Copies of this chain bind each other. A is one copy, B any other.
């Protein structure tokens, strides 16, 4: 039964374990095949090579996450009309929790993506998300107008976005339990919004 599982699946499983353990670069296709109980040729029947193997493992969850974030970005763009309130309201928390929930469905995959993909075409994935976040931020700012919003220099914006992303990375790395992670993210949002408001000179 368990051994009936299709070769492709066995390879993806084995690859996931190997990438997790050694990281993309140090991962050995030989080992992946051996642990899957298949020969190298089989791997190359299903995948085009090392990079493609990682790709197949990762692409779908990645698209899912992208869609999810896009959704939240759009929502936020509709909501924000006045000066960026950004209070610790439930909208932010709800969005963050949804993301957390989604990422924990593909726990291993996102862990690999965020911390074990050095050497692959995904090694700069965080940068891509950050750029994207920055773009979204600028759109938001444009909507609101510059009324009452202090001039945050590029660098600080960049850093804040990175910090947000790192919050998710840290969660995956240090909190294996989803429920606990969901509890943590709530506090983290409080922290981030407080920091944000602090920078704007607003009360919390």
Contact = CB atoms under 8 A, between A and B. Distances in A.
Interface of A: 23, 25-26, 118-119, 153, 155-156, 158-160, 162-163, 166-167, 170-171, 174-175, 180, 184, 187-188, 190-199, 203-204
Contact of A166 (B25, B26, B166, B192): B166
A191 B159 CA distance: 11
B162 A170 contact: yes
A199 B187 contact: yes
B155 A180 contact: yes
Secondary structure call for the A interface: helix
Contacts of A180: 155
A82 B13 CA distance: 54
Given A25-B25, A191-B196, A197-B204, 19 more contacts: A23-B118, A25-B118, A25-B119, A118-B118, A153-B184, A155-B175, A156-B184, A156-B187, A158-B174, A159-B167, A159-B171, A160-B191, A162-B170, A163-B163, A191-B195, A193-B198, A194-B194, A194-B199, A195-B195
A87 to B, nearest CB: 11
A192 B170 CA distance: 17
A194 B187 contact: no
A199 B23 CA distance: 35
A69 to B, nearest CB: 21
